[in-house]
Structure 1
């Protein structure tokens, strides 16, 4: 008999054991008793780029050996500064839902302050752990085309145009009359460099992966001016 968890990607890599009990002695076997899942003891946001953040965490106990509730899973959530909305992030390849010590969060906006929180979730929410909060992290500056419109809440096929943030998804050339493509859709999130390779030679191409841009001048580069320094403290030497 092969046993594997199917409720989280990779099954957390646990060494799962199947224990069988004969019906004749079932009434003599103690039932599994759920207890409150312990709150994780550490959460940090590290290795920040314009489009990704690495979350590093410690659960404080060994989940492989000590089970406290049914169908335990990690819940990592982010909140952008200036909003009250927390949103769950599964992480790259579902890594932020699996046991470990770190995971990579890909879908973040550039030049944005984020806060994070982490808890252990159970099928019985009454025994979920409490949240542990992180300090904030600010993603590096980037260009609009460095991210896709899905991060702004639009459908998977929506383009953002250069003129006044107009969006459209009617045709492949729908941004031509509005200054051209500024940001690609989630379904084709990478913008290529050549200016007139797509939409009947009127637009930059939006493609699914960076390697497709090899035939279109490579990935569009992002050059941004340095931020003006902010004076935070001064003192007189007189």
Structure 2
């Protein structure tokens, strides 16, 4: 291991996320090191000096309530502020792949969406579905459309056929 870097083991996990309670040191950033596969992960930092890190798997097209998390050993590799200028550059996240209307009535709509497989350097990856009545501003949908680990949601209480939905967009913490 290079000076200024350290690894924290993350065991195989059956859920969509895993929380590292303490990174052991103050850091300038972290990344997930995989032992195999094309799994994609996003990191959410919180707590004192961002030393709590939630590791989220984000590449599943159908979301994670129906699937297992990951079967490989992962490592959270963090780096000290003193080596931040040598840290690997991040790759931007790709835009959402699709937003599909699956079922609708005059006041509800079920949507399927996928925000892409390549999350890149996106911290705390999330998505938003937006709606608007013709001629008004877009607003973020609530309810199950906000759940990070799902790829389907139901919009309710739509005013009438003039309600429009979309776009799906991904978001990252800066």
Q: Structure 2 length as normaliser, TM-score?
A: 0.49
Considering Cα pairs closer than 8 Å and 6+ residues apart, tell me whether 1 or 2 has the greater RCO: 2
Q: Which has the higher helix share?
A: 1
Q: Structure 1 length as normaliser, TM-score?
A: 0.37
Q: Which has the higher strand share?
A: 2
